[in-house]
C-alpha cells in the first residue's frame, strides 16, 4: 500500500477545511476508531481487514494525522499550502509473502510532500509533489485532485477524483523485478513511469455532540507502468472503511 488506510478520510478535504484557521492558535482534534477492507493487488498478498485507531491533531499551522506531520499556511482566504513529512509503505510484506520470497526487501521510506489547495464555489482543487527523503526509491510523485463537500442526508458527502504520475525510479523500486530475482512464475520487469488515478466517496455524519461517523469507498487505478509488473495481479483495487470519531 502506498498510503495508510485512514487516508480514506480524505486528507485533501480536511486540509481544505483548515483554510482560514492555519494561523490560529486554538488546539483541535479528531480521535476515533475504524474498520477497513483493502483489496490486494500484489501477488501473494491477501486482502486486508483492519481495525485501526484514528487521530488527527491540529495546533495553529501544525497538523499530525495518519498522512504525516504537516505545516499548513494560508495563502489567501480560500487557498493554502502545506508541507508534509509522510511515510510511503512498501508494495508488499516480504516476511510472509511466499510467492515473492526471492525478491529483496522493498523498504518503507519517508517523503516530503508539498500540497496546494484552492477552494472555489464549485469544488476544492489540489495539487501536490512528493519526493523521497531517505534515498530508497529516489523518485517522485505528482498529483492533481478535485473534491467537493455536498450537504446531504443529515451529513456531508465528499466525492473526490484525482490523477497522479509516479516516476520510473519509484515504480521500479517497488514493482520492478531484476534478472536475479526472476523465476519461472515471476518474470524480470524494469519499472516505468505510471499514470495512476483514484476516485472516492466519503460521507461524514454528525451523531450528537462531537461524535461523527465517516463511511468511505475508494477505487485506485494503478496505470500500465505498475500493472504490467509480473508481481501485480490486477490493474486496480478497492478500499472501504467505516469510522467513528469524536471532534474536540
- Say what the pLDDT of residue 19 is: 41
Domain 5-247: give its CATH code: 2.40.160.40
- The residue behind cell 490486477 is 234
What is the distance between the alpha carbons of residues 98 and 211, in angstroms, rounded to a whole number? 43
- Say what the pLDDT of residue 153 is: 82
User: Residue 125, SS3?
Assistant: strand
Task: Please list the alpha-helical segments (H only) found in 76-185.
Answer: 168-175
Cell of 185: 512464475
Bridge partner list, 164: 143, 196
- Say what the pLDDT of residue 15 is: 40
- Say what the pLDDT of residue 25 is: 58
Sequence-ordered list of residues with C-beta below 8 angstroms from that of 118, at least 6 positions apart, any chain: 78, 79, 124, 125, 126
- Say what the pLDDT of residue 75 is: 95
Which positions of the chain have pLDDT values less than 70? 1-25
pLDDT digits (tens, 9 = 90+) for 104-153: 989 999 999 999 999 999 999 999 999 999 999 999 999 999 999 999 88
- Say what the pLDDT of residue 4 is: 45
- Say what the pLDDT of residue 35 is: 94
* Prediction pTM value: 0.88
Residue 51: count other Cβ atoms within 10 Å of its Cβ: 9
Residue 25: count other Cβ atoms within 10 Å of its Cβ: 8
Cell of 245: 470519531
Give the single-character DSSP code of 191: -
Domain ranges of the chain: 5-247
Amino acid at each position: 500500500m502506498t498510503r495508510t488506510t485512514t487516508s480514506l478520510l480524505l486528507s485533501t478535504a480536511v486540509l481544505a477545511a483548515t483554510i482560514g484557521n492555519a494561523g490560529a492558535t486554538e488546539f483541535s482534534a479528531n480521535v476515533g476508531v475504524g474498520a477497513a477492507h483493502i483489496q490486494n493487488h500484489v501477488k501473494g498478498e491477501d486482502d486486508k481487514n483492519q481495525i485501526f485507531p484514528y487521530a488527527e491533531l491540529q495546533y495553529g499551522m501544525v497538523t499530525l494525522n495518519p498522512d504525516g506531520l504537516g505545516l499548513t499556511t494560508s495563502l489567501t482566504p480560500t487557498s493554502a499550502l502545506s508541507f508534509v513529512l509522510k511515510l510511503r509503505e512498501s508494495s508488499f510484506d516480504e516476511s510472509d509473502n511466499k510467492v515473492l520470497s526471492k525478491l529483496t526487501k522493498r523498504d518503507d521510506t519517508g517523503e516530503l510532500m508539498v500540497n496546494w489547495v484552492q477552494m472555489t464555489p464549485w469544488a476544492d482543487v489540489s495539487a501536490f509533489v512528493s519526493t523521497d527523503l531517505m534515498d530508497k526509491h529516489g523518485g517522485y510523485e505528482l498529483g492533481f485532485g478535485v473534491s467537493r463537500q455536498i450537504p446531504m442526508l443529515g451529513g456531508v458527502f465528499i466525492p473526490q477524483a484525482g490523477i497522479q504520475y509516479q516516476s520510473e525510479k519509484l515504480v521500479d523500486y517497488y514493482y520492478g523485478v531484476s534478472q536475479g530475482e526472476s523465476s519461472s512464475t515471476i518474470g524480470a520487469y524494469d519499472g516505468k513511469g505510471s499514470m495512476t488515478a483514484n476516485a472516492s466517496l466519503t460521507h461524514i455524519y454528525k451523531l450528537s455532540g462531537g461524535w461523527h461517523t465517516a463511511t468511505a469507498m475508494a477505487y485506485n487505478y494503478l496505470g500500465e507502468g505498475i500493472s504490467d509488473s509480473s508481481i501485480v495481479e490486477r490493474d486496480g483495487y478497492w478500499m472501504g472503511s467505516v469510522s467513528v470519531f469524536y471532534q474536540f
